[in-house]
Amino acid sequence: MILSDKRILEEIEKGTIVIAPYDRKYLGTNSYDVHLGKYLATYKDRVLDARKHNEIDHFEIPEEGFVLQPGTLYLGVTEEYTETHAHVPFLEGKSSTGRLGIDIHATAGKGDVGFCNTWTLEISCAQPVRIYAGMPIGQLIYFVVEGEVETLYNKKGNAKYNGRTIKPVESMMWRNEF
């Protein structure tokens, strides 16, 4: 079950959903629109290694926008810091970004109950496209979770992406043991 606009508002009032900054006008029928933060990042190395810590370079999107190029993975970040204490948040694209050939996540759209942070976006594009800080980039939807949660994401000792980051965060796969 996905939360309706009224249910999202109720959860915001209770404090079980936090979205900051928040504006009522970005609340859709059953979703909340999130916006592209001003920082992007790309990996320093062309060849990434899943076992290693692949470092990234951050840069700011200029006023006139930044042209994404196909064949490069860009990490972006939502302007919105979110907390979701009782539901499963999902980051979805928007039809309007999709129609520009922009993907905003690579394989992982699901969040965890207890996730508290901005969302890192794994951005790629089908053809060169100029993007701007502050543009609507995706939407959050909230699923009801069945059953009690034993360990919330923000209480997990090994949660990799919890925190309060205003810049995109690179893959922490290197922290997994394999």
Ligand X SMILES: Nc1ccn([C@H]2C[C@H](O)[C@@H](COP(=O)(O)OP(=O)(O)OP(=O)(O)O)O2)c(=O)n1
Report yes or no: 79 and 20 within 8 Å, Cβ to Cβ: no
Q: Which residue shows structure tokens 């980039």?
A: 137
**Cα four-point dihedral sign 92, 98, 104, 105:** positive
Please report which residue ranges of 15-114 form alpha helices under DSSP H: 95-98
Q: Is 139 in the site for ligand X (CB under 6 A)?
A: no
To ligand X, the closest distance from the beta carbon of 150 in angstroms equals 14
Check if 55 is active-site. no
Report yes or no: 119 and 78 within 8 Å, Cβ to Cβ: yes
Residue from the set 85, 87, 94, 105 that interacts with ligand X by CB under 6 A: 105
Q: Record the tokens describing residue 129, joined without a space.
A: 């496209």
Residue from the set 76, 80, 94, 111 that interacts with ligand X by CB under 6 A: 111
CA distance 176 to 164: 21
The residue type at 120: T
The active-site residue out of 122, 146, 148, 177 is: 122
For ligand X, give the closer residue by CB, 63 or 167.
167
To ligand X, the closest distance from the beta carbon of 51 in angstroms equals 14
Binding mask 148-167 for ligand X (x = CB under 6 A): -----x-----xxx------
Binding mask 36-75 for ligand X (x = CB under 6 A): ----------------------------------------
Q: Which residue shows structure tokens 């790309």?
A: 42
Helices and strands, counts by H and E, the chain: 2, 11
Binding residues for ligand X restricted to 83-102, rule: CB under 6 A: 91
Q: Is 80 in the site for ligand X (CB under 6 A)?
A: no
Closest by CA position to 117, among listed 35, 25, 10, 20? 20
For ligand X, give the closer residue by CB, 62 or 166.
166
To ligand X, the closest distance from the beta carbon of 64 in angstroms equals 27
Torsion angles phi and psi, residue 164, rounded to 5:
-140, 80
Tell me which residues touch ligand X (CB under 6 A): 91, 105, 108, 110-112, 115, 119-120, 122, 153, 159-161
Q: Which residues are catalytic?
A: 122
